[in-house]
Amino acid sequence: MTEKKLANSQLGSLEYDPAPESASIARLKPSYGLFIDGSFSDPSKHEQFVTLNPANEEVIATVAQASAGDVDAAVAAARHAYETVWSKTTGAERSKYLFRIARLIQERARELAVVETLDNGKPIRESRDVDIPLAAAHFFYYAGWADKLDHAGFGADPRPIGVAGQIIPWNFPLLMAAWKLAPALAAGNTCVLKPAETTPLSALILAEILQQAELPPGVVNIVTGNGTTGAALVDHPGVDKIAFTGSTDVGRLIQQRVASSQKRLTLELGGKGANIVFEDAPIDEMIEGIIDGIFFNQGHVCCAGSRLLVQESIADEVLRRLVRRVEQLRVGDPMDKNTDVGAINSAAQLARIQELTAFGEGEGATRYTSSCVLPENGYWFAPTIFADVSQSHRIAREEIFGPVLSVLTFRTPEEAVAKANNTNYGLACGVWSEKGSRTLWVAQRLRAGVIWANTYNRFDPTSPFGGVRESGFGREGGRHGLEAYLNV
Ligand code: NAP
Ligand code: MG
């Protein structure tokens, strides 16, 4: 028995044979243009950039860099489509298009999952079971609303806003596109979407799906590019609304840029979610919930449970079990169906995780890092837990956006609430307890947009999601998600 196998068998885990998904399912083209007015076109300045597979640093496709002129053309197409077609299309008709898009996402789900995993580095199991089905579910859900806006609680015949500029990050590329497009289209707006620079491909496959669905040209336009493309969209005078998901720093900048305009704005920004565990919680479920809360999607999750607050009486046992569980996580090839933790999305994100974790050690926290063997090429970070973390440590205050958990302790519910709220953010929290009354007491005092009880990272299109304080404002999902795209 090899050393690795011995270690694994001592931990009670099984060896798995590789079960790789085939990259050829992606059927990717070597290069992609901009999706403007219903068709793909070359960027006016003929500038392009490459998108990599972060698991091996290989180039997977070349993508167009949209200039300010291209953004202008996309906004003009969206305006024309809004005035001539989409604002005159009935809710029932819009609903049919959304249903069609949802079904086509389902039909092409396997291809989309492979594209997402190749471009982002997330495990195929997650893109297959979470990202793509949830993206389809968002279109299905808002398809149901398109002809019922009169009953959404915003008065009779609520009107759309007009042209929406939508900027999304790289952590859930297709899902974030669905969160933005589905409610906007249901409410009768037209859109210009800017995907993240490192993960543009699934949005471009979605563009093909929009063509298949025969969505009228210009109703959705997709402009790939970097931050300058996003800035051109934010500054464009023809845009009526900006919806942004990304970092708090860029969100703040965007807020300043639109402050002197009439543009409506919603921001979904960062977080430093507290996962609070009480001594009476069922420990097996809780350990899985903590692990899922931070290591799902390599911790590239704005609502990740990155601060574990554990009651002092069970702190030693929880830490011991977490360290053991982290050792069992399978880190490696994202295309392998057995992989739990994939690649870090970019060299820049890896550098940030490395910088913050080095600070954690420097500030005196105790580090436990999985002994997993990391692949030689690509961007990788072994799952890590920090114990003995205090509230002043950078790893307790700043968003790491990686597979790193900071563990703090508390004695009373009051202390747990005070520590959980001691953050500039306010996106999500989790509470674990057998006692419903205690869960409600704590939940009522937490300042966060989303609170999960005895679970974590549960997403559903019917449920509103969004933050308070530096985590942003506005809600996506549910009936509330329509408000961001209606003139109410
Ligand atoms: P980011 O730099 O803020 O990027 C987000 C998007 O904005 C990307 O498409 C980006 O383009 C674009 N962008 C960059 N600079 C811009 C500018 N000046 N004007 C307009 N657009 C601009 O964020 P990131 O570092 O890529 O993503 C991770 C962050 O997003 C984390 O902090 C995380 O918490 C947050 N996030 C929040 C949520 C939520 O729902 N609240 C969800 C996911 C992620 P490029 O790709 O070219 O940089
Ligand atoms: Mg970025």
Please report the pLDDT score of residue 11 as a whole number: 52
Query: 356, 394 in Cβ contact below 8 A?
Result: yes
Report d(CA 123, CA 126) in Å as an integer. Answer: 5
Do 455 and 432 contact (CB within 8 A), yes or no?
A: no
Confidence of residue 14 (pLDDT cuts 50, 70, 90): low
- pLDDT tens for 240-260 read 999 999 999 999 999 999 999
C-alpha span between 264 and 316 (Å, rounded): 49
Distance 126 CA to ligand 2 centre (A): 21
Distance 388 CA to ligand 2 centre (A): 31
DSSP string, 144-167: HHTT-GGGTTS-SSPPB-SEEEEE
Question: For residue 432, what are the β-bridge partners?
Answer: 277
8, pLDDT greater than 50: no
- Give the Cα separation of 440 and 104 in Å (integer): 41
15 pLDDT tier (thresholds 50, 70, 90): confident
Question: Is the pLDDT score of 3 beyond 80?
Answer: no
Q: How far is the CA of 222 from the centre of ligand 2 (A)?
A: 17
Tens digits of per-residue pLDDT, 196-230? 999 999 999 999 999 999 999 999 999 999 999 99
pLDDT, tens digit, for every residue of 27-75? 999 999 999 999 999 999 999 999 999 999 999 999 999 999 999 999 9
Query: pLDDT-based confidence at 13, cuts 50/70/90?
Result: low
Q: Of 240, 90, 83, 91, which is closest to residue 152 (Cα–Cα)?
A: 91
Residues 343, 378: contact at Cβ < 8 Å?
yes
Average pLDDT over residues 319-344: 97
If one residue of 67, 167, 469 were mutated to test the ligand 1 pocket, choosing by the most ligand atoms within 8 A of its CB, it would be: 167
DSSP letters spanning 245-288: ES-HHHHHHHHHHHTTSS-EEEEE-----EEEE-TTS-HHHHHH
- In the predicted model, what is the mean pLDDT of residues 76-87? 98
Closest ligand 1 atom to residue 467 Cα is: 41
DSSP conformational letter for 129: I
> Residue 16: which pLDDT band, with cuts at 50, 70 and 90?
confident
Q: Which ligand is nearest to the CA of 194?
A: 1
Hey, which residues are catalytic here? Answer: 268, 302
Query: If pLDDT is split at 50, 70 and 90, which confidence band does 21 have?
Result: very high
Among protein residues, the one whose CA lies closest to atom 11 of ligand 1: 227
Q: List the residue whose alpha carbon is closest to atom 15 of ligand 1.
A: 227
CA distance to 138, 144, 302, per residue, from 96 (Å): 14, 9, 32
Distance CA 275, CA 317 (A): 16
Rounded to whole angstroms, the Cα distance separating 435 from 254 reads 43
Identify the residue whose C-alpha is closest to ligand 1 atom 9: 196
Per the CB < 8 A criterion, the answer to whether 169 and 246 are in contact is yes
DSSP output for 347-395: HHHHHHHHHHHHHHHHTTPEEEE--PPPPSSS-----EEEES--TTSHH
Confidence of residue 2 (pLDDT cuts 50, 70, 90): very low
Question: Which bound ligand lies closest to the C-alpha atom of 247?
Answer: 1
**Is the pLDDT reported for residue 465 higher than 70?**
yes
Ligand 1 atom with the smallest distance to the CA of 246 is 30
What's the whole-number mean pLDDT along residues 395-421?
98
Q: Say which residues have a Cβ less than 8 Å from residue 422's Cβ, sequence separation at least 6.
A: 391
34-50 core/surface letters (b: 16 or more CB in 10 A; e: else): bbbbbebeebeeeebee
Q: Which atom of ligand 1 is nearest to the CA of 234?
A: 20
Ligand 1 center–CA 2 separation, angstroms: 44
pTM, 2 dp: 0.96
Q: What's the CA gap between 63 and 298, in Å, rounded?
A: 25
Mapped onto helix, strand or coil, the DSSP state of residue 338 is coil
What would the mean pLDDT of 136-163 be, rounded to a whole number?
97
Cβ neighbors of 214 (< 8 A, separation 6 or more) are: 97, 100
| Ligand found nearest the CA of 245 | 1
Pocket of ligand 1 (CB under 6 A): 167-171, 194, 196-197, 226-227, 230-231, 234, 245-247, 250, 253-254, 268-271, 302, 399, 401, 427, 472
Query: Element (H or E) spanning 404, and its range?
Result: strand 404-410
Side chain identity, residue 180: K
Ligand 1 center to residue 327 CA distance, Å? 31
